[in-house]
Every structure is written in C-alpha cells, then in structure tokens.
Structure 1
Amino acid sequence: MTRTSTQSSSLCLIVSTSNGLSSPFVQEKHVLLEKPSTSNSSEANILFNLPELSLPNAPVLLEAFHVRFHPAVHLFLSFIDPAAVMHVHTDSMVPVFITDKGGIEFNYKLSGGSMMMLGTYNFGMLRMIFGAEPTECLECQTSIFGDGVHDRCDYRFAAKFAFPNGGVGEAMTTMRGSILWKPSEARVTMKEIVVTDKTIPEMQEKVRTRKVTLHGFMHAFVWHRIDVEDSYVIREKVKGMIVKAWVESESHKAYSYKDAGGEFGNPPGETWWMSYRYQLEEFVNRVKGRKTQYWISGDDSLNQMKMIDTAYEKSGLGLRPTSAFV
C-alpha cells in the first residue's frame, strides 16, 4: 500500500483513480477515496487498519460511496425494520452505449467487472437495508464476453445472499443494458406483523405486510420515488378466516433532509444538491471535527469488500487481483 508524502499545502485529497491502479494513503492528508476503495478485502484490511489511522488527530479516510449519503436513501430506510426484512430485490444498469469493451470496466488487471463497478451499489444497499452483513453468497450467475481476452470480467450478474435474520437479498446488474435507461431499484418485502387495533373483536387480529420500494437510489438527486405499500388483513385468530383485507399506499420524496422531515432535523442541504455534495459536506464536517449526520467507517468499507469477494468466489471468476502498489 503506497504511502506518499508531499510538500504540498493541500489539506485534503480526492483520489479518483481505478481501484486496480492504486490504494493510496497519503501521510498527514485527509483522503476522499473513490469507491470501491480497493480490489479485494485483503487490500481493504491493510488500508483501513494502517497505524496512522489510529493515532490522535488521525487523518480522515472516507470511501466515496456518494449514493449512501443522499437524504432519499435515509428516508427510505426509515420505513424499514431490518429485523423484519424477508426479501430484498435490487437492480441497476447502464445502457450498452455507455461502456466500451476495451475500457477499464472490463479490464481484469484493473479489477474490472460489473460487480465491482456497478453492483457494489446494490451490495451497499442490501447491507444498509438488512443492517447486517451477509452470512453467505448463495449463488452468483454471470455473463462474460468469452472472447479469450475478457473471460474473467462479468458484464452482467445476478447474486443471492443470506442474511442473519433469515432474509434473502438479491442483486442484479448489467453494464450492457437496453438503450432505454431503467432507474435503479431497491424493493423490500417485510414479514407479516400483528398490529394493535382496539376497535376489532378480541377473537380477531389485524396483521400488516409492508413493501417499500426506492426507485432511483443511484441517482436520487436526478429523480427518485419511495413507494410504501401496506397490505392489511383482519382475520379470526383460531380459524384464520379473513374478515377484511385492504391495501394502503403512499409515495415520498426527499431531495433534502428538510424534505425528509421528522427525525432527520434540518442539517445543511438544498434540493439541488447532488449526492456527491452531501458526501463532501460530511467529509468536511469530519475533517473539521464537527458532528456528521452519516458516516462510512473503515470497518464498513472492509465488510463491503468482503461481500464483493464472496460473490466473485461463488461465481467462479475469482477475486480481483491485488494491486501492484500494495
């Protein structure tokens, strides 16, 4: 892992090179590091456990997972009880004309592949929704060019993960998608719960099954919508006979924390702020020793890379290669 000293007066650096080119740590500098932070979890373990990071007044190192800082994502999560999550579907895509077969996204030596370049957003959303780390990658199907050159880089994948509460999370991505762009999506189905209702007879019970969908989690600053669908049933406790069933639906948006309201208070932010701007705000807050609304720790980034590793191992394509700079 390279440690580069510099005579520059710069206090902070933004590192936006491919994770396959370097995993830098700049001494005495605060670093905003492009995601994914490294090529595999072994590199991440070295990077986020550097001795410099545990010293008093240690420099700030943040993996630039901009999507996770947008208010829409946090409002979406507020409708979810992680312990009750039964199933999550996530998908993302880019149209075929956006990527090039000869680009870094399909260069194995530079840690290319759809899971690394795009699917990592899906993985991050799954971990946030379940509020836990996956226990196992159940399956991972991939598509490759099969031309003898790009055989270890996936351009499409579909993976399933098991989580500690018994739930299953699915992630699907393609980097060779239709020319008609489909916004990314995270769709959550929660377990049935009993809802207290003193207006119904004692021999009956009221239950609710909730589905929450965030359309556009990757580019929420451009457009997004949060749909909350609650399916209610009143039934007899003993025989289970349904007395009444109905659905209640509502939609929400949050381009700022002010839009989100409630528990989020009113931290700085405007409706026109991009997710990158919310991320930069928190980075500067941490550098200046101020309170942050949300943060991604080194352990969080390490666990993110572990999840990517398990998917690549399950797929048979193998881990992305360790950088020559380590």
Structure 2
Amino acid sequence: MAGLLGFIKRNRTLANPPAARKAEDALRFGLLGASRIGPNSVILPAKSHPGVIIAAVASRDPAKAEQYAKEHAIPKTYSGKDCYQKLVDDPAVEAIYVGLPNGLHFEWTMRALKAGKHVLVEKPCADTAAEARTLFDYAASKGLVLLEGYHYRFHPAVQRVKEIVDSGEFGKIKSMHSELAVPYLRGSIILKDDVRYDYGLGGGATMDMGVYTLSAIRYMASSNPLEITSATAAGYEKDPTRIDRGMEATYSFPSSITADTLVDLRLPSWGPFGLFPQGPKNSLTVKLEGGEVYYFGLVLPHNFHSIKVRPIKGKDRVEKYYKFKTGYGEEWWSSYRYQLEAFVDRVNGREPHDWITADESITQMEWIEKIYAKAGMPSRPTSSYVVS
C-alpha cells in the first residue's frame, strides 16, 4: 500500500510541481517549437527550479504559439516564417531549448550558438557524427554550454544500476540487453504518418528510441563496442529502404562482452489475426559472472522503475532510487528535472552532478550511423544549412 501511495503522490507532483520563487539572475529560456515533449522536458522542470524562467516560445503557426503560451504561462511568443531566428536573436533570452524534429536540430542548435546562447537540444543532437562534432567544437570555441538531452542518464535509478555493475559484487559483465518498444494500438501515440517516419527530418526508430538503448549499453560497459555484429531493420512500409520502424542489433565489446538492442515504434501484435497487443518494452538487463541486474523503467524512471538484483548465490532483492543517497534531488524530480539542474549548474560555473560530454555525444552518433550501415540503410541526410 505504501508503494502505491508513493507512486500516486510522486506522479501527482510530477504533473504539478511546486512553483519556486525565481532568482533575480534566473536563466531565461526560449523554446524552439511548441512541441509535445516540451512540457515534460523543460516547462514543468523549470517551474520548480528557482534559477530558470521560460521566457518565450516560437512556433511557425501563430494560433499554436498563442495557445501553447497561454496553456503554459509563457509571456512571449514568436510566430511566422522567421520566428525561430527572431527568438534566438532575442537579447532577453539566454538559453535555447531545441525541441524540433531531428532534421532541424543541427541548424537551429548552430544558429542559437552563433547568437551566443547556451543550448539544451533534444537527442539526437544532429543527424550525423560530422554535424555533432561541428556543434560541440563551435560551442567550445565560444565558451557556450551545449548539452544533448539524454535525460535518463541524470536520474539516480540508472546511476544506481551502474554503481551495482561497477561494484564488483557480481564480477565482470558477460552480456547486456536493452529494449524500448511501443505496442501499436488504435489511437497510438506514434501514428503511421508521424514525423518519426520522415527521412528528410531525420526519422527512424534508431534515431528515436534506439539512441537510448545504444547509450545504455555503452554507459554500462564504460566503453564503445568493438563491432556491430548484426543489424536488422523492420522497414517502415512507405519508405522501407531508408526508414526503420524497428531495429535489432548485436554488438561485441572489449573483454568478450556481448550485447543486443531492440527498438520498435509499432510493436506488432500477436495471436490469431494479431488480436493481442504486446506490452511496452522499457528495460535494461546486465548479466554478470555472479548474477543479473534487471532494470525496468530505463526511460521515464521517475514515473516508475524497478531494479531487480538476482545473484546466482543468495537472495534476490529489489531496489528503487528516486533520490540520491546524498540527499541531492527530490523524490518527485523527473529525469528531466535532474538534467535541467545539471545544465543550469554548468551555465553558472558550478560542477554538475553528472554530464553528457561532447565526446560521448559525437561517438554516439558515429555508432548510430554504423548501425544503419550494418542494416543496409543510409545515414540520415546532412542538413542543408551552411555554417558561415
């Protein structure tokens, strides 16, 4: 009963966090795009952060911009053809959140950096490794903070999993499995004409959910793969040679570690005539010499997660971590809230609790491109934006 009450209380607070009194020097954010992910990824986290104000939002659709601003109490809007550029040029805006489709990340992250803004960009930060390198090199040359939004990495739950794996309690890693998949239902959140299936906008399951599964196994192994041993795409029916609706891949890592990942934007149903939908997949399993760690809730661990530790010898145990043992954070903080805390700390010259480095982001895109190559698919198209 206590667990259920805690779940209800935590998720209620997630949806309506307490409003913090804003500091005079609070970082003023502008949002590029009136995105669906924006409320969870930055608007709600900013509400409880005394050092963040959401100052403006830009959407090419005037009605959408006004509605979004009204719904989320954002004081300033930009709309029309040049709205994104007007927002990044706004002298009152100090940081930009890029929540646009993947194919626009490189251009508008670069434009924001060129305007002297710090940037929090949704993953993936670009469509190719070369673009990612250009972004981070430019940010470093200008002394600007650039963070790719792998929010799950900032949550105490996944860091606890990493702590268990690295502790030596169960010996060395033998294999890893990470999976993220959404069942296809009528009224699904990922429809057949979703922007995730648009090649020109950097679409594909690997570019969406697949970045998390790859990131998770690299994080657990504390290394990059030696090789992608196989990659098999489930092609999107309208563009099957370029867009993956799903992807399965296997990897070899140093120290004879093997790994596999599975992602699917429309997980097929099963049974007669496909009547029975599969459940969602959202987990990471690490098998070690002396046991196994199963982590459910890889993405969105703040809603619910479970860390099941299964030793070969000894009793199983279940752990849950919504707040760091040191007292850092709050039980109801989302992974996005922890991420925002780190971003603001870095902008203000403080050492963040955790960070996604430039090298991690660039190398991540290199391996994303290798997955596509192994599956016989092209990399996502390079942006037409020319850096001057």
TM-based fold match above 0.5 = yes
TM-score (norm 1): 0.82
Secondary structure at the aligned position of 1:184 is classed as strand
User: Partner of 1:254 in structure 2?
Assistant: 321
Higher fraction of helix: 2
CA contact (8 A) 1:21 1:325 kept: no
TM-score (norm 2): 0.69
Structure showing greater relative contact order (alpha-carbon pairs closer than 8 Å, 6 or more residues apart): 1
User: Partner of 1:238 in structure 2?
Assistant: none
CA distances 1:21-48 after superposition (whole Å, capped 9, x unpaired): 2412223211001111000112112111
Paired amino acid for 1:18: P
User: Partner of 1:100 in structure 2?
Assistant: 191
CA contact (8 A) 2:102 2:203 kept: no
Q: Of residues 170, 182, 188 in structure 1, which corresponds to 2:286?
A: 188
Aligned positions of 1:64-79 closer than 5 A = 64-79=149-164
Paired amino acid for 1:314: K
- The CA distance in 2 between the partners of 1:19 and 1:189, in whole Å, is 33
Aligned positions of 1:28-107 closer than 5 A = 28-50=116-138, 52-55=139-142, 58-81=143-166, 84-96=172-184, 97-107=188-198
Q: Of residues 252, 276, 284 in structure 2, which corresponds to 1:162?
A: 252
User: Partner of 1:21 in structure 2?
Assistant: 104
Kindly tell me the number of residue pairs found equivalent between the two proteins. Answer: 282
Paired amino acid for 2:162: L
Aligned positions of 1:202-213 closer than 5 A = 209-213=290-294
- The CA distance in 2 between the partners of 1:66 and 1:183, in whole Å, is 18
- The CA distance in 1 between the partners of 2:174 and 2:338, in whole Å, is 30
Paired amino acid for 2:345: N
**Shift of residue 8, structure 1, vs aligned partner:** 2.2
User: Partner of 1:289 in structure 2?
Assistant: 349
- The CA distance in 2 between the partners of 1:113 and 1:22, in whole Å, is 15
CA contact (8 A) 2:105 2:125 kept: no
User: Partner of 1:266 in structure 2?
Assistant: 327
**Shift of residue 108, structure 1, vs aligned partner:** 0.9
Secondary structure at the aligned position of 2:266 is classed as strand
- The CA distance in 2 between the partners of 1:183 and 1:146, in whole Å, is 22
CA distances 1:285-317 after superposition (whole Å, capped 9, x unpaired): 101111211000111100111111110000001
Q: Residues 9 and 250 (structure 1 numbering): CA distance in 2 closer, same or farther, change over 3 Å?
A: same
**Shift of residue 181, structure 1, vs aligned partner:** 3.8
CA distances 1:210-254 after superposition (whole Å, capped 9, x unpaired): 21111111110111000111113xxxxxxxxxxxxxx42111001
- Structure number with bigger Rg: 1
- The CA distance in 2 between the partners of 1:12 and 1:294, in whole Å, is 19
- The CA distance in 2 between the partners of 1:49 and 1:163, in whole Å, is 28
**CA RMSD, Structure 1 to Structure 2 (Å):** 1.9
- The CA distance in 2 between the partners of 1:157 and 1:9, in whole Å, is 43
Q: Of residues 206, 222, 229 in structure 2, which corresponds to 1:138?
A: 229
**Shift of residue 180, structure 1, vs aligned partner:** 5.1
Paired amino acid for 2:303: V
- The CA distance in 2 between the partners of 1:78 and 1:36, in whole Å, is 26
- The CA distance in 1 between the partners of 2:370 and 2:254, in whole Å, is 16
**Shift of residue 111, structure 1, vs aligned partner:** 1.2
Secondary structure at the aligned position of 1:277 is classed as helix
CA distances 1:101-123 after superposition (whole Å, capped 9, x unpaired): 22211111111111111111101
Secondary structure at the aligned position of 1:140 is classed as strand
CA distances 1:185-219 after superposition (whole Å, capped 9, x unpaired): 1000113xxxxxxxxxxxxxxxxx12111111111
CA distances 1:45-76 after superposition (whole Å, capped 9, x unpaired): 211112x4135xx1100001111111101011
- The CA distance in 2 between the partners of 1:184 and 1:325, in whole Å, is 35
User: Partner of 1:9 in structure 2?
Assistant: 92
Percent identical among aligned pairs is 32
CA contact (8 A) 1:224 1:253 kept: yes
Q: Residues 140 and 254 (structure 1 numbering): CA distance in 2 closer, same or farther, change over 3 Å?
A: same
- The CA distance in 1 between the partners of 2:180 and 2:90, in whole Å, is 42
**Shift of residue 183, structure 1, vs aligned partner:** 4.3
CA contact (8 A) 1:107 1:150 kept: no
Q: Of residues 255, 259, 266 in structure 2, which corresponds to 1:176?
A: 266
CA contact (8 A) 2:301 2:335 kept: yes
Whether 1:299 aligns to 2:359 is yes
Q: Of residues 275, 281, 285 in structure 1, which corresponds to 2:335?
A: 275
Q: Residues 168 and 187 (structure 1 numbering): CA distance in 2 closer, same or farther, change over 3 Å?
A: same
Whether 1:323 aligns to 2:383 is yes
